[in-house]
Amino acid sequence: MAQKARVLIDCQDSQGLVYQISKVFYDRKLNIDNNREFVDKEKNKFFMRSVISGDFVIDEIKEALTLALPNDATIRIIEPKSKKIILMATKESHCLGDILIRWASNELEANIEAVISNHNDLKELTNRFNIPFIHIGTEDLSREEHEQKVIKVLDTFDFDYIVLAKYMRILSSDFVDYYPKKIINIHHSFLPAFIGANPYKQAHTRGVKIIGATAHYVTSDLDEGPIISQDVISVNHRLEWRDMQRAGRDVEKIVLARALSFVFNDRVFVHGNKTIIF
Amino acid sequence: MAQKARVLIDCQDSQGLVYQISKVFYDRKLNIDNNREFVDKEKNKFFMRSVISGDFVIDEIKEALTLALPNDATIRIIEPKSKKIILMATKESHCLGDILIRWASNELEANIEAVISNHNDLKELTNRFNIPFIHIGTEDLSREEHEQKVIKVLDTFDFDYIVLAKYMRILSSDFVDYYPKKIINIHHSFLPAFIGANPYKQAHTRGVKIIGATAHYVTSDLDEGPIISQDVISVNHRLEWRDMQRAGRDVEKIVLARALSFVFNDRVFVHGNKTIIF
Amino acid sequence: MAQKARVLIDCQDSQGLVYQISKVFYDRKLNIDNNREFVDKEKNKFFMRSVISGDFVIDEIKEALTLALPNDATIRIIEPKSKKIILMATKESHCLGDILIRWASNELEANIEAVISNHNDLKELTNRFNIPFIHIGTEDLSREEHEQKVIKVLDTFDFDYIVLAKYMRILSSDFVDYYPKKIINIHHSFLPAFIGANPYKQAHTRGVKIIGATAHYVTSDLDEGPIISQDVISVNHRLEWRDMQRAGRDVEKIVLARALSFVFNDRVFVHGNKTIIF
Amino acid sequence: MAQKARVLIDCQDSQGLVYQISKVFYDRKLNIDNNREFVDKEKNKFFMRSVISGDFVIDEIKEALTLALPNDATIRIIEPKSKKIILMATKESHCLGDILIRWASNELEANIEAVISNHNDLKELTNRFNIPFIHIGTEDLSREEHEQKVIKVLDTFDFDYIVLAKYMRILSSDFVDYYPKKIINIHHSFLPAFIGANPYKQAHTRGVKIIGATAHYVTSDLDEGPIISQDVISVNHRLEWRDMQRAGRDVEKIVLARALSFVFNDRVFVHGNKTIIF
């Protein structure tokens, strides 16, 4: 039976890259099921994602590609399989609930190892799905102390990504740097509009006619990480800010789910402060 | 033949306003073709727009409503007719062109009295429609001097609104205050994201997945006036900022046209820094 | 403490209706928290929905309105409270799961009395929320016999609405007529496009660039009932029909949830084969 | 200075196609500025569009590709230049006007050779842009006779595409077959919903909550040709069908413009009754 793998390459752009890469596949009689390239001309950078199938040994292909490509090339060859994730949440249930339902329906493309929360509100919901719920309260703890406790718990798990499903606590740079490109957040505004606290209240005060949500990688710059997915809905003067919050929930959960699907399928390159999504 | 008028009322909210207003119409055997109300509970303010038809004298109705309503009530009774507008533009043709086509097709609900520009680029396009094009260059002029020249020209016209159809010069507070609630602008971003210069470049740098446009009343706070209409389109990593600019043009012109239609039909209340659109 | 009620009126249009209705409220010193009217000029029909608060007896107001309004008027005065619903589903979990999560988060504005299904696939999910799951298999049963069994079960419950959350069996006219304006369905296409079986396959075959979903009241005309809510998403040539189905799930569940929110808040008038939503 | 060309290839799918094609480019030291591939697995068909730059002779590359690729391969190498188009329209000005403005602003990527119409209404608008307007009335003519007159006029022009910018007459199969893959139409509904006459009236009667527009290649099956672009807007019960028509105009013109941009940039493959757009 044929194997499958996702090959993700990025390097300085130069002539012949597609040729060199496809030659490696061709010489091994591999099928290319899917192929996407992009060149950032401003930065002179090449990106390619191929889904290959056939009979191959990953290390051998990696070696061949390394030989064929410039020295600066980053080459990742990933077998398609369920990711392992940790969810972090606070009190709101819509994003967590949506992910739990997808998981229970085998549509998540990831396994939820645990839910960590600074509150107890979501324990019952999580337990309905027999997933470990770990409460790490913040009382009497400095931000650093709390994060150390979280890291200690995280260390007991093997995971690919941390998903902040409405985790309403700011993470320190130290924490974020500890898990580079591994933390995905849903922000309840159409970034970069309404950075910071209570974006729906801000949106209401500003009188906007559209509100939105943004899923992004978390970096040490708050609300400034590479954006993966965004969407919006129309609002009008009849909505008070709590109505906007309510209406926004559906956007938030769908935007987050879409972003997770991109990430779990290895379709995302992080490129400086941006993403390239194939 | 029955007359028609748009009655716009706003005042402090209190019990019985709809009753008092509809009584004035009922006592005069007028038809209500359309009726919309809104109460801003936070500010305790009542808004109503009725389209009435029948046999009436505007001043008489206004007097009756004034008697029936609280002292703070603002009552406007407007006969539906084409507004008179002045367009201001700079070099880009898409918004101006879209308005000209609507005008030439009798779909604008306004008459274009003149196009004023700080450049000559749009003269040919304007002249195709036999509309006066007035070039007021900025060379060797301070902002104040330039604006004085513009005001001098504007003074020679009778008009209801100034429409900034991609007029790429910042207007001073003095100018703006001279035409309160009379200037409508199209901003090439989804406000409040990307305030200021070259929003498409900013959007590209930030790596957003959606871009937009905003039509708003101009106040002395740059890019902060009451929003009338907004819309967005999806973008991705393949678009350079000039591609975003190109893609954004269609959103800009449609959002502006939609806002103008609201305004020209007297469907907009300006309420603090927001709009209520019926 | 002030009572609240939703007053829904529809009748032949004539002069003075708003006046007559608001007079009833005014005479009783009631507040109008929200008021919306619409006149279908083609059919000469008037619709109004008011949310009133104050001190009142529903029957007394109903009587007063009956006296004040034309004979053909339909007057409903509804106290805002949770509706009772029965869910019917088949195998797909996304709509059912979404409703369950909203219910568990107190966001549904309805209580789920039971889930009825022609299959057993969703039993586990339903049981996670301790909601009765009733399996009524179709084996060896005619459509009529099966529906009789369903009706027998339904008769044991007190409910306001039946929600078909991807119930993939056609209901007979007899069944539908038994529950007039009480059955709400989510159809997995942008009606009236792709009526009938497997709309995603049809959409794929036709090569459309946008797919959608439609929530509607069920009438005896299959896929022809009054539409409550619709939404769409973009697709492209890269999606096979199963990808479209997957992408469509998120639209389906959001469209259904939006429709249910309208219905449960008594914001919907059914007017011939259309809806008026305030 | 480097030349540029768009290379469009489609053929039966097989192993090594990307390799074979990129080898041809690599051997000639050409740059690939942009590269997109797609495999229709169901039909086992491969599609690729490359934008190449460098020093080359088109015929030589075509020959090399022909040798490298399977016999059934269709290879098109197109120099990027303005297309030549004929517009056909009837009475409505919004699509024609939008195209004229883009043309006058050098944003159309095509030159308008002439406007042909069965009515005289759009003569004035066309003449504002000094473009030949040719009126071919239908009075006393059979469909065949009228079309023969149109073909006779078309024969006097050299053109790449006929754009039906709201040409409200059905074209016969004979006419359509005479210009295969050369006629682009804008249909005023979200196909396949509301095929046929007056889709807005149909949409109003059906009570839909969203209306749309579809740009497609014209084939002898009315309203059934390959779809290039679609978009929608929300509507509600307050819109009469003429309001829907008015609201729909903006969608129609934007959808048509988007489709034309795809076509004029040679980004579209017609594949059976579908399009692949790179």
Domain ranges of chain B: 3-78, 83-277
Question: Which tokens in the block code for residue A82?
Answer: 């369920």
A contact test, residue of D12, D15, D30, D51 with most A CBs within 10 A: D15
Q: B58: distance to nearest CA of chain C, Å?
A: 19
Helix (H) / strand (E) element for C10: namely strand C3-12
Cβ distance of A32 and D18 shorter than 8 Å: yes
Over 80: is that where the pLDDT of A190 sits?
Answer: yes
Cα A135–A139–A143 angle (5° rounding)? 90
What residue type is A268 in one-letter code?
A: V
**What's the mean pLDDT when you consider all of chain D?**
96
Amino acid at B28: R
- Whether D101 and B104 lie within 8 Å, measured CB to CB: no
The Cα–Cα gap between C6 and C80 comes to 7
Where does residue A198 fall: left (phi above 0), alpha (psi -120 to 50 degrees), or beta otherwise?
A: left
Could you say which of D221, D223, D243, D250 is catalytic? Answer: D223
Listing DSSP states for D230-256 in one string gives EEEEE--TT--HHHHHHHHHHHHHHHH
Q: Measure in Å the smallest separation between the Cα of D229 and chain C Cα atoms.
A: 6
Which residues 213-242 on chain A approach chain B with CB closer than 8 angstroms? 226-232, 236-238, 240
C187 vs C210: CA distance, rounded Å: 15
- What is the model's pLDDT at position B91? 98
User: Which pLDDT score, from 0 to 100, does residue C222 have?
Assistant: 78
Q: What does the alpha-carbon distance between residue C133 and residue C131 come to, in Å, rounded to a whole number? A: 6
Chain A neighbors of D34, CB-CB under 8 A: 39
Q: What percentage of chain D exceeds 70 in pLDDT? A: 100
pTM of the model: 0.97
Tell me, what's the pLDDT at A1?
A: 58
Say yes or no: D166 contacts chain B, CB-CB below 8 A: no
Nearest in space to A113 (alpha carbons), one of A97, A133, A95? A133
Q: Which of B97, B250, B258 sits opposite D257 (nearest CB)?
A: B250
Given strand C31-40, what is the order of strands in its sheet? Answer: B74-78, B3-12, B45-54, B31-40, C31-40, C45-54, C3-12, C74-78
Q: How far apart are CA D108 and CA D186, in angstroms?
A: 16
Which residue in the set D226, D232, D237 is minimally distant from C277, CB to CB? D237
Spatial CA neighbour of D220 closest among D189, D179, D177, D269 = D177
Identify the CATH homologous superfamily for domain B3-78. ACT domain (3.30.70.260)
Question: Which residues from B are below 8 Å from C34, CB to CB?
Answer: 39
Greatest Cα pair distance, chain C, in angstroms, is 64
B208 touches chain A (CB under 8 A): yes
SS3 A166: coil
The DSSP result for B22-71, as a single string, is HHHHHHTT-EEEEEEEEEETTTTEEEEEEEEEES--HHHHHHHHHHHS-T
Asked if residues A225 and A191 have their Cβ atoms less than 8 Å apart, the reply is: no
Average pLDDT taken over every residue of chain B: 96
Q: Are the CB atoms for A272 and A43 separated by under 8 Å?
A: yes
Between these two residues, D84 and A224, which has the higher pLDDT value?
A: D84
pLDDT at B117 over 90: yes
Question: Residue B118 class from Cβ within 10 Å (0-12 exposed, 13-18 middle, 19+ buried)?
Answer: buried
Does the CB of C258 have a partner CB in chain D at under 8 Å?
no
Q: Do B101 and D94 touch (CB under 8 A)?
A: yes
Q: How close C210 gets to chain D, by Cα (Å)?
A: 7
Nearest to B98 among D101, D104, D246 (CB): D101
Q: What is the pLDDT of residues D49-84, one digit of tens each?
A: 999 999 999 999 999 999 999 999 999 999 999 999
**CA-to-CA distance for B55 and B63, rounded, in angstroms?**
16
Q: Read out DSSP for C137-206?
A: --TT--HHHHHHHHHHHHHTS--SEEEESS--SPPPHHHHHHSTTTEEEEESSSTTTT-SS-HHHHHHHH
Q: Quick check: A206 contacting B, CB < 8 Å?
A: yes
One-character DSSP codes across chain B: --EEEEEEEEEE--TTHHHHHHHHHHHTT-EEEEEEEEEETTTTEEEEEEEEEES--HHHHHHHHHHHS-TT-EEEEE----EEEEEEE-S--HHHHHHHHHHHTT-SSEEEEEEEESSSTTHHHHHHTT--EEE---TT--HHHHHHHHHHHHHTS--SEEEESS--SPPPHHHHHHSTTTEEEEESSSTTTT-SS-HHHHHHHHT-SEEEEEEEE--SSTT-SPEEEEEEEE--TT--HHHHHHHHHHHHHHHHHHHHHHHHTT-EEEETTEEEE-
| Strands ordered across the beta sheet of D161-164 | D133-135, D110-117, D83-89, D161-164, D183-187, D210-217, D227-234
Q: Output the tens digit of pLDDT for each of chain C's 278 residues.
A: 579 999 999 999 999 999 999 999 999 999 999 999 999 999 999 999 999 999 999 999 999 999 999 999 999 999 999 999 999 999 999 999 999 999 999 999 999 999 999 999 999 999 999 999 999 999 999 999 999 999 999 999 999 999 999 999 999 999 999 999 999 999 999 999 998 889 999 999 999 999 999 999 999 987 889 999 999 999 999 999 999 999 999 999 999 999 999 999 999 999 999 999 99
Tens digits of residue pLDDT in A80-118: 999 999 999 999 999 999 999 999 999 999 999 999 999
**Res B222: pLDDT:** 78
> What residues in D contact C193, CB-CB < 8 Å?
190-193
- D105·B98 Cβ contact <8 A: no
> What SS3 state is found at C113?
strand
Q: How far apart are CA D193 and CA D202, in angstroms?
A: 9
Pairwise CB contact (< 8 Å): C15 & B26: yes
Query: What are residue B134's DSSP bridge partners?
Result: B116
**Fold designation for D83-277:** Rossmann fold (3.40.50)
Residue A206 corresponds to which tokens in the numbers above? Answer: 């500003």
pLDDT over threshold 80, residue A47: yes
User: Residue A2 above 80 pLDDT?
Assistant: no
| pLDDT number for residue C1 | 59
Best mutation target among A109, A128, A239 (most C Cβ atoms within 10 Å) is: A128
Within a 10 A sphere around the Cβ of B119, how many other Cβ atoms? 15
Contact A18 D23 (CB under 8 A): no
Q: Measured between CB atoms, which of B15, B31, B35 is closest to C37? A: B35
Sorting pLDDT into bands at 50, 70 and 90, what band is A221?
A: confident
Smallest CA–CA distance, residue C193 to chain A, in Å, is 24
What values do phi and psi take at D214, rounded to 5? -135, 125
Cβ of C101 within 8 Å of Cβ of A100? The answer is: yes
pLDDT confidence of residue D197:
86
Task: Determine the distance from the C-alpha atom of residue B103 to the mean position of all C-alpha atoms in its chain, rounded to a whole number.
Answer: 16
Q: Does C101 touch chain B (CB under 8 A)?
A: no
Among chain D residues, CA nearest to A32: D15
Chain D residues touching B234 at Cβ < 8 A: none
Distance (Å, whole) CA D240 – CA B62: 30
